[in-house]
Chain A
Amino acid sequence: MITLRTKVVLVIAVLAALAVVVPNTNPFLVLLATRVLAFSILVMSVDLLLGFTGLPSLGQAAYLGVGAYLTAILATGYEFGLGMDFWVVIVLGILSGAVLAAIFGLLAIRATGVYFLMITLALGQCVWGLAYRWNSLTGGDNGINVPVRPQFAGIDLSDGITFFYFVFALFVVSLLAMFVLVRSPFGRSLVGIRERELRMQILGYNTWLHKYVAFVIAGGFGGLSGVLWAHTAGIVSPETVILTTSVDALLMAVLGGAGTLVGGVVGAFIVFGLREYLSTIVPWWQYVLGAVYVLTILYLPRGLMGIPAWLRERRASQNRKDEAKRLASVPS
C-alpha cells in the first residue's frame, strides 16, 4: 500500500514538474494547460460531491456559468475587475456560485442517486435557458466577449505564461483547500454519508445539513472555476453552461477516479488533451476518446487512479495462484 505521504509527495512532484515544463512549451500548450487547470477546479468540485459525498451532480456547469457570466458582465458592462479589483471579482464569483448552490441545494439535496442527478440536471438547464434567452444581460446566443485580462501590481495576465501561473496558483490553493476539507472530521462525515446514510443518521448526524454544506462549498469552487474560465478563452456564451459541460466535468471525475480529487485533474488533462490537442493532429480523435471512456468503464471502474490498486490486486492474486501451484506440485 502506498502511504498517504508518498502520494502527497508524488502529487507535489507532478505539480512542480508541470509548473516548470509547461511554460517552456509553445504558447498554445500553455493556453491549453491553463484551460485544463481552470476547468479542473470545477471537476474537483464535482468529485467532492460524487466521490466523497456520493451525490452525482449533473448540473455543475451552472456554477461555472454564474462565475463566468459575472466576470464577463462586470468586465464589459462596468469595467470592473480589470485591475486590483479582480480579487473582488474572484471573491464575488465564489460567493455567486455558493449562493446559487445554496438555492439549488434546497431543492436538490432532498433526493439521492438518480433523482439527485435529474434534479441537478434540470436546475442546470434552467441556468442555461436564462443565459440563452436573457438577451439584454447575457448577449443571448452570441455570448459576451471579455476583451482583456486583468492587470494589477505589475502583473499582466494578458501574458499567457503569467496567466498560467496565476491559474496554477489558484488551482493549487483549491486543491489544498479541498484536500484539507475531505480529511477533516466534516469530510469524514461526508464519506460516512456516502457509505451508509442511515447509519450516520442513527449516530446523530444531521446528514441533510452535511450534504447541503458540501453542495454549497462545491458551488463556490464552481464559481471560482468560472471566473478563471471566462478569462481563458475570453468568451462566455450559453455553450459554457450547456449540459455537455456538466457531463464533461462528471466524466472527467469518473475517468480519473472518483473520490481522489487529483483523479479528476488527470481526467481533465486526458479529455482536454484528446479533444483540443489530439484533434489538431488527427481527425479520428473522437474514437480515441470513446475508447478511453469505454475501456475505463469496462476494466477500471475506479478510474485511472485505480490502476495501482488494480495492479496490486492482480499481483496478489497471481502470487496466490503461484503459491497454490507450488503447494500442489510439492509431493506430500
Chain B
Amino acid sequence: MTSRLAFRSRLLGGCLALGWGTGAVAEELRIGFLAPTTGIFAQVGKDMVDGFQLYLDEHDNKLGGADVTFIVEDTVGKPDTAVTKAKKLILQDKVQMFVGGLLASTGYALAPVSTAEKTVYISSIAAADDLTQRQLDKYPYFVRTGWTSSQPSHPFGQWACDQGYKKIVTIGADYAFGYEVIGGFQRAFEECGGQIIQKIWPPLGTKDFGPYIPTISPNADAIFTLMVGPMSLQFPKQLKASGNQKPVIGGGTSYDEFVLPSMGDEVIGHVSALQYSAALETPENEAFVKAYREKFGKVPSYYSESNYTTAQMIDQVMTENNGVFPGAEKFVEQLAKVEIDAVRGPVKMDNRRNPVHNIYIKKVERRKMFGYPDEELWNIVIKVVPDVGQFGQFEEEVFLNTPVYSRDFPPCQYCE
C-alpha cells in the first residue's frame, strides 16, 4: 500500500512535471504517516490511515493545491520502531511533516525526533498530556490536532457531580493514559464535591476481571471505567455477569466506535465522554459517517475522525500558503492558529498547540441512525460541553504547577 500510493502519486507528479510542463508545476507536499498497521493494534492503525486517506480521496489527493505524497509506515506499536520509521520518513523520503502515532509512549518517543530533525510532527491520536503541557517548550515542531487524555475527563467530572453522584470507584488500565483519564476525572469530580473512594488498576491487556470486580466497594454510587482495546469488550460482560446494578460511566476509549460494534446489550446505558461520537447529528458528521462506511465497511471511530480532521487542517494551512510549504517553523505557527468546522464540531487551537473543541457526553443506546436499516449500538450524545481546552475548568497556571496525572496524583484522599 505504502509504496503503491507513493509510486502512483510520484508518477502523477512526474506526468504533471514532464507532460504538461509549460504551466505552473504543482507543488508536492510529502506527508509521512506513522501507525501500527501490523500487530495487536493493526485495526486501530487501519482506522487512522483510512481517516486521512478518505480526506485525500475526497480532494483529488491535493491539500491546498499541493499534490500529496502520502507515505504510510508501520510502527508495529513499538516506540523504538516508530522512531526508526520516523527517521526513515525524514532522512530517506524527505517528508515535510509526519503525522500519527497511536500510543502515548509513541508520542513521547516521536516528539524528540521532530525537535532533533527540525521536522513538523502532528500528533493526531497520541494523547499524552505533558506533550502540550509541562514539556511543550522542548518540542517546538510539535502540534496536536487530536486531544489530551484528560481533556474529556474534566467536564465529565463536573457532569458526574450534576447527576448527584457522591462516591465513585474507578477501575482503569494501569498505564500513563489510564492515569491521565482517571486523574482528570478525579480532579474535576472532587473539585465539585464528589469523592473517589477506591481506585483499581488492572494491568493493560487484562482478560479476566474476576479478581477485580468483587473488590469494588459497595458504597459507590457509580463505577468509572477506563478500558482500551480487548479490555473494553471483556469488562462490561463480566461486570454484568456479576449482577452489578450501579451506573457505569467511563473514558472515551471504553466505548468508542472501534469496539462498539463488537459489544452486546450489556453496555446499553453506559455513559462516556469524548470529543467525537459517530452518532453526532450534524450534516457534516452524517456525510462523513456515510462516506466512510461505504468506503471501508465500518462506522468511523475517533481514530478515523481525528486523522480526517488533521488532513482538513493541513489543507487549510496549505491553502493559506497557496499550496507552497512555508517551512517548518512557519507551518507550525500557522497550524497552531487554525480554526475550522470539523466533523467533530468547531475546533480551534489554544496557545499551547492543543485543540479546543466540544466534549460530548454520550450514552450507549441501540437504535437506527442515519437511515441505516438495522438497530445498532451508537454513542448517543446527551450533553454537549462547548469549547473545552486541555485545562478545562481549571486555571492554566495553577494546573501547570501541579504534577502530571499519575498513579499517585491526585492522591486518593477519600479512599476507604
Give the B-binding residues of A (Cβ under 8 A).
26-29, 31-32, 35, 132-133, 135, 140-143, 145, 147, 232-235, 237, 239-240, 275-276, 279-283, 286
Q: Which of B12-20, B102-110, B320-328, B355-363 contacts A (4 or more CB under 8 A)?
A: B102-110
Chain B 381-409: CB-based contact to A (< 8 A → 1; otherwise 0):
00000000000000000000000001100
Q: Are A141 and B1 in contact (CB under 8 A)?
A: no
Q: Does B10 contact A (CB under 8 A)?
A: no
Chain B 165-179: CB-based contact to A (< 8 A → 1; otherwise 0):
000000000111100
Closest approach, in angstroms, between the C-beta of A277 and any C-beta of chain B? 9
Q: Which of B77-85, B310-318, B336-344 contacts A (4 or more CB under 8 A)?
A: B77-85
Q: Are A27 and B80 in contact (CB under 8 A)?
A: no
The tally of residues in B whose CB lies under 8 Å from a CB in A reads 34
Closest approach, in angstroms, between the C-beta of B200 and any C-beta of chain A? 15
Chain B 58-94: CB-based contact to A (< 8 A → 1; otherwise 0):
0000000000000001101011110111011001100
16 A-B residue pairs with CB within 8 Å: A29-B92, A31-B88, A140-B175, A141-B177, A142-B128, A143-B79, A145-B109, A232-B80, A234-B109, A235-B83, A239-B78, A239-B105, A279-B73, A280-B3, A280-B88, A281-B3
Q: Does B259 contact A (CB under 8 A)?
A: no
Instruction: Give Cα A27 to B86, complex, Å.
Output: 12
> Would A240 and B80 be within 8 Å (CB), given that A141-B104, A145-B108, A280-B73 are in contact?
yes
Q: Are B175 and A143 in contact (CB under 8 A)?
A: no
Q: Are A233 and B84 in contact (CB under 8 A)?
A: yes
Most chain B CB neighbours (cut-off 10 Å) among A235, A276, A281: A235
> Would A32 and B112 be within 8 Å (CB), given that A140-B176, A235-B79, A237-B105 are in contact?
no
Contacts of A26 in B (CB 8 A): 91-92
Knowing that A26-B91, A147-B112, A281-B2 are A-B contacts, what are 15 other residue pairs whose CB atoms are under 8 Å apart, sorted by A's residue number? Answer: A27-B92, A28-B88, A135-B407, A141-B104, A141-B177, A142-B105, A143-B105, A234-B109, A235-B79, A235-B108, A235-B109, A279-B73, A279-B74, A280-B3, A282-B2
Q: Are A282 and B3 in contact (CB under 8 A)?
A: yes
Q: Are A276 and B407 in contact (CB under 8 A)?
A: no
Contacts of A232 in B (CB 8 A): 80
Instruction: Give Cα A26 to B108, complex, Å.
Output: 26
Residue among B3, B38, B177 making CB contact with A286, cutoff 8 Å? B38
Q: Does B204 contact A (CB under 8 A)?
A: yes
> Would A31 and B108 be within 8 Å (CB), given that A140-B175, A141-B175, A233-B80 are in contact?
no
Instruction: Give Cα A135 to B105, complex, Å.
Output: 13
Minimum CB distance partner of A281 in chain B: B3
Closest approach, in angstroms, between the C-beta of B236 and any C-beta of chain A? 24
Minimum CB distance partner of A240 in chain B: B80
Instruction: Give Cα A304 to B97, complex, Å.
Output: 40
Q: Does B158 contact A (CB under 8 A)?
A: no
Q: Are A237 and B91 in contact (CB under 8 A)?
A: no
Instruction: Give Cα A279 to B79, complex, Å.
Output: 16
Contacts of B174 in A (CB 8 A): 133
Q: Are A237 and B176 in contact (CB under 8 A)?
A: no
Instruction: Give Cα A135 to B178, complex, Å.
Output: 13
Contacts of B153 in A (CB 8 A): none
Q: Are A276 and B112 in contact (CB under 8 A)?
A: no
Q: Is the interface of A mostly helix, strand, loop or mixed?
A: helix
Contacts of B88 in A (CB 8 A): 28, 31, 280
Chain B 347-386: CB-based contact to A (< 8 A → 1; otherwise 0):
0000000000000000000000000000000000000000
Q: Are B109 and A237 in contact (CB under 8 A)?
A: yes
Q: Are B108 and A143 in contact (CB under 8 A)?
A: yes
Q: Are A235 and B92 in contact (CB under 8 A)?
A: no
Minimum CB distance partner of A160 in chain B: B91
Instruction: Give Cα A282 to B4, complex, Å.
Output: 8
Q: Does B37 contact A (CB under 8 A)?
A: yes
Chain B 11-42: CB-based contact to A (< 8 A → 1; otherwise 0):
00000000000000000000000000110000
Instruction: Give Cα A147 to B111, complex, Å.
Output: 11
Contacts of B38 in A (CB 8 A): 279, 286
Instruction: Give Cα A26 to B89, complex, Å.
Output: 12
- Closest 5 interchain pairs by CB? A233-B80, A141-B175, A27-B91, A28-B92, A235-B109
Instruction: Give Cα A281 to B112, complex, Å.
Output: 25
Q: Are B105 and A141 in contact (CB under 8 A)?
A: yes
Closest approach, in angstroms, between the C-beta of B46 and any C-beta of chain A? 11
Q: Are B112 and A141 in contact (CB under 8 A)?
A: no
Contacts of B177 in A (CB 8 A): 141
Instruction: Give Cα A61 to B88, complex, Å.
Output: 25
Closest approach, in angstroms, between the C-beta of A187 and any C-beta of chain B? 33
Instruction: Give Cα A142 to B74, complex, Å.
Output: 19
> Would A280 and B91 be within 8 Å (CB), given that A141-B204, A239-B80, A286-B38 are in contact?
no
Minimum CB distance partner of A230 in chain B: B80
Most chain A CB neighbours (cut-off 10 Å) among B92, B103, B204: B92
